[in-house]
Amino acid sequence: MKITAIEMLVCGAGWRPWSFVKIGTDEGLVGYGEVSEGRNLYGVMGCVRDLESVLLGRDPRPVELLNVDMQRIIRQSPGGVAQKAVAGIDCALWDIKAKALGVPVYEMLGGPTRGRLRLYWSHCGTSRAQFGDVIGTPPIRSLMDISALGKEVVKRGYTALKTNIVIPGVPAKVHMPGFVGFYASRDVGIDTLDLNPSPRLLKQIEDLIGTFREAVGPEVDIALDLNLNFKTEGFKKVAKVIEPFRPMWMELDTYDPKALREIKESTSVPICSGENLYAPLGYRPYFDLYALDVAMIDVPWNGFTAAKKIADLADAYQINIAPHNYYSHLSTLMSAHLCAATANVRICEIDVDDVPWKSDLLTQPVEIKDGYLTVPTRPGWGADLNEKEIAKHPWSS
């Protein structure tokens, strides 16, 4: 079997692009991998093209070998956009190999370790606050709307949710000054850089998490994701404010392992981090310091090969993983396969509020019941991309 074509597929998923690598072979087998990157799409597309030279004409099945060869191309710019390109290709290669053998991907790695996977409802309130018109959801005008949303989460069977700093109003806002782009503050330029939480903002966070806690009751898990929106001092202040509501975790990202350790030591709130890190080498300094309780791993950005190695490294440090999955359901399946090939899993992310045609993007629907995803048993990832549906939603930015 030989690789004959490598192609990027992009669709406009409301407020961001979803992107995929498609690999074709001379035997007709096709593999898909998700590599959605909402802020550096064209960088990833360019890097995928750079990698073609080492892949075209080769057998797609020795995935580890092809990974090492791709690493030798990106060696002088590891991680980041370059690794995302490797990751999309890597996932498409795993899909082809599994289909060639007629087995699910996790079957090749000692799985399944589980038949179903607990999910948490991510961007709970965040998506409605900013993109309710695209999704078709009620507005977030007041804390009463937050309370109603919390109750909806429970009613729809979910046992956990994750939110961001959602500030109800007309219009509602999401405090995300660490980013520019979708989900983020529109404030750029002068007077926007210090990332300090004001007393008013801390009170708004307290009200938000307190309202969710009261709405969902004591047994449903709540997480708060702060991303890169504060510095160490600010993260510690937020942890203190949300501590009484017993969160599942406070999530944040920092490129300084010692800073993360300092935040973790300052609070009883469990700390989740890692979504922006790459490869075992990127995680090891954080693990060596025991700076986090839950390691978030992004499969579309690391690739399945690296993600599995990170999960196994985390296990050696008695740390559970949680896939970073705020993408299409191809990523949901790829994340499910990681969890089904892994013993140390905490829970998996999923965006429930999303574009109405999200499920139509796959040839087989994902099966979610009572807040749990059924691990697929079909070959490869368990579903292919529906390219006709992708074509209906062009990305134009």
Nearer to Mg ion, 37 or 384 (CB): 37
Nearer to Mg ion, 73 or 228 (CB): 228
Measured from the CB of residue 227, what is the shortest distance to Mg ion in angstroms? Answer: 6
Nearer to Mg ion, 152 or 225 (CB): 225
**Contact code string over 184-223 relative to Mg ion, x by CB under 5 A:** ----------------------------------------
CB atoms under 10 Å from CB of 24, counted, come to: 18
CB atoms under 10 Å from CB of 204, counted, come to: 20
In 3D, which of 130, 198, 167, 68 has the Cα closest to residue 351?
130
- Going by their DSSP bridges, the two strands 173-174 and 166-167 should be labelled as antiparallel
Measured from the CB of residue 251, what is the shortest distance to Mg ion in angstroms? Answer: 5
Nearer to Mg ion, 296 or 373 (CB): 296
Measured from the CB of residue 322, what is the shortest distance to Mg ion in angstroms? Answer: 10
Measured from the CB of residue 15, what is the shortest distance to Mg ion in angstroms? Answer: 17
Surface-to-core class of residue 1, CB atoms within 10 Å of its CB (0-12 exposed, 13-18 middle, 19+ buried): middle
Q: Which one of 104-112, 175-183, 246-254, 376-384 is the stretch in contact with Mg ion (CB under 5 A)?
A: 246-254
- Number of residues in contact with Mg ion under rule CB under 5 A: 3
Measured from the CB of residue 32, what is the shortest distance to Mg ion in angstroms? Answer: 24
* Shortest-Cβ-distance residue relative to Mg ion: 225
Nearer to Mg ion, 275 or 351 (CB): 275
Measured from the CB of residue 349, what is the shortest distance to Mg ion in angstroms? Answer: 8
Query: Which tokens belong to 184?
Result: 């983020």
CA 2 to chain centre: 31
Measured from the CB of residue 298, what is the shortest distance to Mg ion in angstroms? Answer: 9
Q: Which one of 58-66, 249-257, 280-288, 368-376 is the stretch in contact with Mg ion (CB under 5 A)?
A: 249-257
Nearer to Mg ion, 95 or 253 (CB): 253
Q: Which one of 153-161, 258-266, 268-276, 386-394 is the stretch in contact with Mg ion (CB under 5 A)?
A: 268-276
Nearer to Mg ion, 251 or 351 (CB): 251
Measured from the CB of residue 1, what is the shortest distance to Mg ion in angstroms? Answer: 38
- Beta carbons of 133 and 170 less than 8 angstroms apart: no
- Is residue 298 involved in binding Mg ion (CB under 5 A)? no
DSSP secondary structure of 370-385: TTEEEPP-SSBTS--B
Q: Which one of 113-121, 147-155, 244-252, 287-295 is the stretch in contact with Mg ion (CB under 5 A)?
A: 244-252
Measured from the CB of residue 122, what is the shortest distance to Mg ion in angstroms? Answer: 8
C-alpha–C-alpha distance, residues 337 and 206, integer Å: 36
Tally helices (H) and strands (E) across the chain: 13, 15
Q: Is cis: bond before 171, omega within 30 of 0?
A: yes
Task: Identify the three-state secondary structure at position 78.
Answer: coil
**Contact code string over 299-338 relative to Mg ion, x by CB under 5 A:** ----------------------------------------
| Size of the chain in residues | 397
**Contact code string over 271-290 relative to Mg ion, x by CB under 5 A:** ----x---------------
Cα–Cα distances (Å) from 68 to 33, 51, 134, 161, in that order, read 18, 12, 41, 38
Measured from the CB of residue 28, what is the shortest distance to Mg ion in angstroms? Answer: 39
Among the listed residues 37, 145, 221, 225, the single contact to Mg ion using CB under 5 A: 225
Cβ neighbours of residue 144 closer than 8 Å, sequence gap 6 or more: none
In 3D, which of 82, 95, 104 has the Cα closest to residue 3?
95
Cα–Cα distances (Å) from 50 to 45, 71, 72, 299, 319, in that order, read 9, 12, 12, 21, 35
In 3D, which of 66, 54, 72 has the Cα closest to residue 91?
66
Nearer to Mg ion, 172 or 294 (CB): 294
What does the binding site for Mg ion look like in residue numbers (CB under 5 A)? 225, 251, 275
